[in-house]
């Protein structure tokens, strides 16, 4: 570790992984309830398990982003964190509040929870992803403000890099867009209109900035490529992300009672949204090709490249598949949506967090740069098991979705929702099997942390790091 205060990232990363396990367990419960309707009923109804699954996802990703920021910002700014103590206090506040919220979901009926937590005074509850009780929502804002204060002051006092500016912009954007969860109009059209300002403008807007900056940070570290080269890519990627993503919000405005012009604006702009994700692939592979060093942490490089590819597939390709209004007319709210949601969230955000954890954790645990070969091999197995099973989950849900659209919406004799669901149950069984393999991958991932052995050290590439004679060096310019 170059800076002592980077150590506060460690509990954030550990909590992220712990909550990730919880998310997947609830995913498996949901998957089973899909084919075995009264599994765990009435203890854990589907709607509650779904809420826990998606809320844990968001919360562990937030822990991951915060950990990433606490790790990256001291190194980028070349100064200690403004207040490591504040970072640790906020960690516990966020963890305890998160745990109490999930317990609330599981132990108290949702309507009672709403009553108990003051939803009648300031209504915020009841919308997908934003189910948190009002007091939790306020708590999130407090934690976010403390976090941003800490990170922003650190950036202001230290060296200013493009990576830390973009990270900061993404994190501030995340917090600002979240404020729309306090706006809860009675008019459903207005409600949905602004709900997407949180959900869409997060994943197809400001989170892309966070993702791009983490990616750039890891690529600089593992490839040794010049910062200037990386920064040029970053500018173009984030400009593309914002230009396409902001008006691209219109792809959620087709059928909710907003004006018809959104069908054009939404289709045109969101059809361009795959571009920044595609550029991220070219960026990652280009940097790896131009690398000036062979970093001993192989899994970190693998996660970074995997993120670029899987984000492009999940967000870019699977997003494009149903983003044009005439297609979305048929696919809206079907398993096609779920297929895309899974691969995009995993490919872009789960994987970028796992990538930075993979890079930073060995260093946070006192190694020079990387774990032992044995531990790395196990981690790469985990990478492939999780990633390939997510590909299968996506493919099975896509199969289910195509049949669902056909049976329920296109056919001359359309079936009702539940009858169509029964016909496609085989896909849900196969999704559950893939999900179980995913969990095995995740267990191996955690196991790899506990595998010892002689750590791999930094070694200069043939020709020496940065030696002018190195062929890798010549390719840089
Ligand atoms: C990493 C980035 C992305 C993530 C994490 C993501 C995630 C999601 C999720 C979870 C949903 C379901 C929301 C709901 O509950 O209704 C969704 C819907 C949707 N996404 Fe994405 N998405 C991403 C990028 C994209 C991109 C780039 C496109 C277009 C090219 C796209 C097109 C769509 C469309 C059209 C819908 C609405 C589906 C429907 O009508 O049911 N997404 N996305
Ligand atoms: C590995 C086993 C997993 C299983 C069996 C599983 C299963 C499910 C199920 C059954 C739903 C509810 C769909 C519905 O409402 O009809 C769901 C929703 C969701 N899951 Fe998973 N999940 C798993 C892993 C993941 C992972 C790894 C991620 C992201 C990193 C994820 C993200 C989501 C999201 C974003 C939604 C909401 C989707 C939407 O609104 O369209 N899940 N999951
Ligand atoms: Fe969207």
The C-alpha atoms of residue 84 and residue 81 are separated, in whole angstroms, by 6
Domains in the chain (CATH in brackets) are 4-469 (1.20.210.10)
DSSP string, 428-476: HHHHHHHHHHHHHHHHHHHHHTT--SPBP--BPPTT-TT-TT-HHHHHH
If you measure from the C-alpha of residue 83 to the centroid of ligand 1, how many angstroms do you get, rounded to a whole number?
37
If you measure from the C-alpha of residue 86 to the centroid of ligand 2, how many angstroms do you get, rounded to a whole number?
33
The residue among 259, 157, 164 whose CA lies nearest residue 220 is 164
Whose CA is closest to atom 15 on ligand 1?
128
Q: Best substitution site from 27, 129, 383 to test ligand 2's pocket, by max atoms within 8 Å of Cβ? A: 27
Please identify which residue in the block is written with the tokens 């396409």.
Answer: 244
Reading the chain (477 residues) residue by residue, the pLDDT tens digits are 999 999 999 999 999 999 999 999 999 999 999 999 999 999 999 999 999 999 999 999 999 999 999 999 999 999 999 999 999 999 999 999 999 999 999 999 999 999 999 999 999 999 999 999 999 999 999 999 999 999 999 999 999 999 999 999 999 999 999 999 999 999 999 999 999 999 999 999 999 999 999 999 999 999 999 999 999 999 999 999 999 999 999 999 999 999 999 999 999 999 999 999 999 999 999 999 999 989 999 999 999 999 999 999 999 999 999 999 999 999 999 999 999 999 999 999 999 999 999 999 999 999 999 999 999 999 999 999 999 999 999 999 999 999 999 999 999 999 999 999 999 999 999 999 999 999 999 999 999 999 999 999 988 765 544 443 344 433 332
Nearest atom within ligand 1 for CA of residue 345: 5
Q: Best substitution site from 25, 30, 49, 430 to test ligand 2's pocket, by max atoms within 8 Å of Cβ? A: 30
Reduce the secondary structure of 325-355 to three states and give it as a string: HHHHHHHCCCHHHHHHHHHHHHHHHHHHHHH
Pocket of ligand 1 (CB under 6 A): 128, 203-204, 251-252, 270, 273-274, 311, 315-316, 319-320, 322-323, 328, 332-333, 337, 340-341, 344-345, 348
The C-alpha atoms of residue 397 and residue 297 are separated, in whole angstroms, by 34
R_g of the chain computed on alpha carbons: 22
**Which runs of consecutive H residues, i.e. helices, occur in 224-349?**
227-248, 261-271, 274-289, 298-311, 318-321, 325-331, 335-344
Cβ burial, residue 41 (10 Å; 0-12/13-18/19+): exposed
**Residue range 450-464, pLDDT digits in tens:** 999 999 998 876 554
Regarding the beta carbon of 275 and ligand 2, being less than 6 Å apart is answered: no
Q: Which long-range contacts (CB under 8 A, 24 or more apart) does 120-129 make?
A: 122/182, 123/184, 124/181, 124/182, 124/184, 127/181, 127/184, 127/191, 127/195, 128/54, 128/195, 128/199, 129/54, 129/55, 129/58, 129/198, 129/199
Report yes or no: 75 and 42 within 8 Å, Cβ to Cβ: no
Report yes or no: 280 and 237 within 8 Å, Cβ to Cβ: yes
Ligand nearest to the CA of 339: 2
Regarding the beta carbon of 50 and ligand 2, being less than 6 Å apart is answered: yes
Q: Residue 255 corresponds to which tokens in the numbers above?
A: 């059928």
SS3 225: coil
Backbone phi, then psi, for 236, in 5-degree steps? -65, -40
Please identify which residue in the block is written with the tokens 């060096």.
Answer: 473
Nearest atom within ligand 2 for CA of residue 61: 30
Nearest atom within ligand 1 for CA of residue 252: 37
SS3 62: helix
Report yes or no: 214 and 72 within 8 Å, Cβ to Cβ: yes
Report yes or no: 311 and 344 within 8 Å, Cβ to Cβ: yes
The C-alpha atoms of residue 392 and residue 318 are separated, in whole angstroms, by 13
Buried b (16+ CB within 10 A) or exposed e, 329-354: ebbbebbbbbbbbbbbbbbbbbbbbb
Whose CA is closest to atom 14 on ligand 2?
338
- Farthest CA pair distance, the chain: 71
Whose CA is closest to atom 39 on ligand 2?
338
Regarding the beta carbon of 386 and ligand 2, being less than 6 Å apart is answered: no
Regarding the beta carbon of 342 and ligand 2, being less than 6 Å apart is answered: yes
The C-alpha atoms of residue 258 and residue 281 are separated, in whole angstroms, by 35
Please identify which residue in the block is written with the tokens 């007319």.
Answer: 329
Nearest atom within ligand 2 for CA of residue 28: 5
The C-alpha atoms of residue 457 and residue 477 are separated, in whole angstroms, by 28
Q: Best substitution site from 32, 202, 338, 425 to test ligand 2's pocket, by max atoms within 8 Å of Cβ? A: 338
- Cα 357-363-367 angle, rounded to 5 deg: 135
SS3 372: strand
């Amino acid at each position: 570790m170059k800076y002592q205060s980077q150590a506060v990232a460690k509990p954030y990363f550990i909590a992220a992984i712990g909550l990730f396990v919880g998310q997947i367990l609830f995913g498996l419960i949901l998957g089973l309830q899909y084919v075995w309707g009264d599994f765990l009923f009435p203890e854990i109804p589907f709607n509650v398990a779904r809420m826990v699954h998606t809320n844990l996802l968001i919360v562990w990703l937030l822990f991951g982003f915060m950990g990433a920021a606490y790790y990256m910002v001291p190194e980028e700014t070349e100064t200690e964190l403004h207040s490591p103590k504040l970072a640790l206090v906020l960690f516990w506040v966020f963890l305890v509040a998160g745990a109490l919220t999930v317990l609330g979901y599981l132990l108290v009926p949702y309507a009672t929870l709403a009553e108990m937590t003051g939803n009648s005074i300031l209504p915020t509850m009841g919308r997908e992803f934003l189910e948190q009780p009002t007091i939790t929502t306020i708590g999130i804002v407090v934690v976010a403000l403390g976090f941003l204060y800490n990170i922003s002051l650190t950036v202001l006092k230290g060296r200013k890099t493009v990576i830390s500016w973009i990270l900061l912009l993404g994190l501030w954007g995340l917090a600002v867009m979240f404020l729309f969860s306090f706006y809860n109009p009675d008019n459903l059209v207005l409600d949905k209109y602004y709900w997407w300002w949180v959900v869409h403008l997060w994943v197809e807007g400001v989170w892309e900035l966070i993702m791009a900056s983490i990616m750039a940070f890891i690529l600089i570290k593992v490839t040794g490529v010049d910062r200037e080269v990386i920064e040029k890519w970053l500018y173009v990627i984030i400009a593309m992300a914002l230009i396409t993503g902001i008006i691209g919000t219109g792809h959620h405005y087709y059928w909710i009672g907003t004006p018809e012009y959104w069908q054009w604006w939404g289709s045109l702009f969101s059809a361009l949204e795959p571009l920044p994700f595609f550029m991220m692939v070219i960026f990652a592979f280009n940097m790896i090709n131009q690398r000036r060093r062979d970093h001993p942490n192989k899994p970190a490089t693998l996660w970074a490249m995997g993120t670029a590819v899987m984000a492009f597939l999940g967000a870019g390709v699977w997003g494009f598949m149903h983003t044009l209004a005439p297609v979305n007319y048929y696919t809206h709210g079907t398993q096609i949506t779920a297929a895309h949601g899974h691969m995009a969230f995993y490919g872009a955000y789960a994987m970028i967090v796992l990538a930075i954890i993979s890079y930073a954790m060995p260093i946070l645990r006192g190694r020079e740069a990387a774990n032992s070969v044995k531990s790395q091999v196990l981690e790469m197995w985990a990478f492939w098991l999780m990633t390939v099973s997510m590909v299968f989950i996506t493919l099975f849900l896509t199969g289910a979705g195509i049949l669902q659209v056909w049976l329920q919406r296109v056919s001359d004799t359309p079936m009702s929702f539940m009858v169509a669901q029964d016909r496609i149950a085989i896909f849900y069984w196969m999704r559950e099997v893939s999900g179980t393999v995913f969990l095995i991958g995740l267990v191996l991932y955690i196991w790899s942390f506990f595998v010892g052995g002689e750590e791999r050290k930094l070694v200069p590439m043939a020709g020496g790091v940065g030696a002018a004679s190195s062929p890798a060096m010549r390719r840089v310019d």
